[in-house]
Structure 1
Amino acid sequence: MRLTITHETVYRYAQPVNYSIQHIRLTPLSGASQTILNWRLDCPGRTYRQTDAFGNIMHVLVIDSAHQEIRIQVTGEAQTTDNLGVLADGADVLPREVFLRPTPLTAPDAAIRDFARPLSASFEKDALDGLHVLSRAVGAAVEYRGGGTDVESTAAEVLAQGFGVCQDQTHLFLAAARLLGAPARYVSGYVHVEDVDEVQTASHAWAEAWVANLGWVSFDVTNAVCPTDAHLRLAVGVDYLGCAPLRGVRRGGGDETMRVEVEVHQ
């Protein structure tokens, strides 16, 4: 599938910001499931391209003059392939054991342990089937609904609440998969939804878990599928904070508003 992406984020501040830095992970890599045909990042100030610890392309944006707005836009095209959710495109940058450790956003509490425990039998019998069971269980336990969580919401909070967005469902999947013994990582990206043309207000998120003799297998809890050629990967990390599309700090500015518009077309 040939996907065309437009993603714009605009920050506005009540007072002038004297200095700001943004870490931008909005440039995808070509791999087994996707070939980047063209990609452009437009933003104010100086940018420095580097590769982060997880192998993602990251641009560091520095603005050291007074400003009350930051507008960051990416546009690009990619050719994607349906690999049935399986990635086998070379050696990992980090040992897989890195993706077994809990993080503040995915740390399991007693409720998550109770949630994962009944799934262990199916996982031990067949890891791949067990992960599919887990994905369905997360979708049943956490209804997709916006407005009740933010980027600091933890997997434990989301399970207790019973609803959240793709980020929250992915964090719960990661927490439980790691308890079961499967290295699991967070993926940020985009998804094309058939017959949906309206502008989205966020990018997408899903999980990848390691299965022996197969590789990394992707699970999109929100859409109840293994990612297909409708998905485009941006970055991976141990959780959202490890591969957030934008993450920054500033000096000054007072109150902040943020507007995000994402369009994914075939």
Structure 2
Amino acid sequence: MRLSVDHITRYSYERPVRGLVQSHRLTPSVFQGQRVISWEVSVKGGDTAAVRGAEFTDGAGDRIQGWSIAGPLTDLSVTVRGLVETSDTAGMLKGYREVINPCAYKRETAMTAASGALSDLAEGVSDAGGALALAHGLSAAVTGAIAYHPGVTHAHTSASEALALGEGVCQDHAHALIALARLRDLPARYVSGYLFADASGTAHEAAHAWAEIHVPGFGWIGFDPANACCPDERYIRLASGFDARDAAPIRGVARGGQPGDEAMDVTVAVLSSDQ
């Protein structure tokens, strides 16, 4: 499947900032399930183009790109446009190169910390069919416990808070699954990316997120509790981390002055380019 991406992130500042430095994880991963045909990231503050900085691949296999721009600035836009060819690998991350030991992803964070309710949910899933069946069962448990409902949670909502609400978005589903997997001694991590959701090309409010669980004998396998499936050819994988903060596609620091309130607007459109 060929998927085209048009992703624009706009920042506006109440008071001008003297400059900005950003770190991006906006380049699709390299593995058997996807191949980049074309991809371009551009950064502008007003009519001024940002300066592209160092680029490298970290230990988790993510491509990191630095950017900087001098001010004064009251607005900034990050534009991502590209075309990626994808295939269905049943969620398996085949042919992906990284050097971090999977056991590193047994570490919990504030967003994935265990609670009594999360522990009860995790322990209620049978492992009679082995680790792979357990992973599928944990994902299904999250799907059943947290209904998809935009607007009821926020960027800092933890897995335990989302479970208590019984509602959330893809970020909450991913955090809850990571917490459950770690409670059952399976390494798990957060994944950011894109999802082709429908044939109409309707713009999404934000990019998508899911979780990967390291299953003995299989390696990393993706699970998307928000859609009750494993990632297939509709998904584009960007980056991973311990949680949403760690895997954020864009991180930035404003230099000098007091930026005041920062507003952000994100539009993402993923279309099928198959002829």
Give TM-score, length-normalised by structure 1: 0.95
Q: Does 1:47 align with 2:52?
A: yes
Partner of 1:31 in structure 2? 31
Partner of 2:47 in structure 1? none
Partner of 1:77 in structure 2? 83
Q: Does 1:226 align with 2:212?
A: no
Letter of the 2:56 counterpart:
Q
Letter of the 1:151 counterpart:
A
Partner of 2:181 in structure 1? 177
Structure 2 Cα separation of the partners of residues 173 and 72 of structure 1: 30
Alignment deviations for residues 114-143 of structure 1 (CA, whole Å, 9 cap, x no partner): 221112xx2254111111111111011111
Letter of the 2:214 counterpart:
W
Residue 197 of structure 2 is aligned with which of 175, 193, 196? 193
Q: Does 1:135 align with 2:139?
A: yes
What does residue range 71-150 of structure 1 map to in structure 2 within 5 Å? 71-119=77-125, 122-123=126-127, 125-150=129-154
Report percent identity of matched pairs. 38
User: C-alpha displacement at 1:16, in angstroms?
Assistant: 0.4
Relative to structure 1, the CA distance from residue 23 to residue 90 in structure 2 (aligned partners, 3 Å threshold; closer, same or farther) is: closer
Structure 2 Cα separation of the partners of residues 87 and 203 of structure 1: 20
User: C-alpha displacement at 1:53, in angstroms?
Assistant: 3.9
- The number of aligned residues is 264
Q: Secondary structure of the equivalent of 2:25?
A: strand
Structure 1 Cα separation of the partners of residues 2 and 132 of structure 2: 29
Q: Secondary structure of the equivalent of 2:122?
A: helix
User: C-alpha displacement at 1:93, in angstroms?
Assistant: 2.0
Q: Is there any run of 5+ residues in structure 1 with no aligned partner, and where?
A: none
The structure with more helix, counted as a fraction of residues: 1
Q: Pick which of 18-27 and 213-222 moved more.
A: 18-27
Confirm or deny: 8 A CA contact 1:105 1:153 kept in the other structure. Answer: yes
Partner of 1:9 in structure 2? 9
User: C-alpha displacement at 1:181, in angstroms?
Assistant: 1.1
Letter of the 1:210 counterpart:
H
User: C-alpha displacement at 1:253, in angstroms?
Assistant: 2.2
Partner of 1:67 in structure 2? 73
Relative to structure 1, the CA distance from residue 47 to residue 83 in structure 2 (aligned partners, 3 Å threshold; closer, same or farther) is: same
User: C-alpha displacement at 1:19, in angstroms?
Assistant: 2.7
Structure 2 Cα separation of the partners of residues 232 and 77 of structure 1: 10
Confirm or deny: 8 A CA contact 2:199 2:271 kept in the other structure. Answer: no
Letter of the 1:46 counterpart:
V
Q: Pick which of 34-43 and 13-22 moved more.
A: 13-22
Structure 2 Cα separation of the partners of residues 256 and 216 of structure 1: 36
Q: Does 1:211 align with 2:215?
A: yes
Q: Is there any run of 5+ residues in structure 2 with no aligned partner, and where?
A: 45-49
Structure 1 Cα separation of the partners of residues 234 and 215 of structure 2: 23
Q: Secondary structure of the equivalent of 2:127?
A: helix
User: C-alpha displacement at 1:50, in angstroms?
Assistant: 2.6
Partner of 1:249 in structure 2? 253
Structure 2 Cα separation of the partners of residues 219 and 140 of structure 1: 14
Structure 1 Cα separation of the partners of residues 99 and 244 of structure 2: 18
Q: Secondary structure of the equivalent of 1:27?
A: coil
Letter of the 1:200 counterpart:
H
Alignment deviations for residues 127-174 of structure 1 (CA, whole Å, 9 cap, x no partner): 111111111110111111111222211111111111111001000000
Q: Pick which of 138-147 and 53-62 moved more.
A: 53-62
Q: Pick which of 50-59 and 6-15 moved more.
A: 50-59
Q: Secondary structure of the equivalent of 2:78?
A: strand
Confirm or deny: 8 A CA contact 1:187 1:206 kept in the other structure. Answer: yes
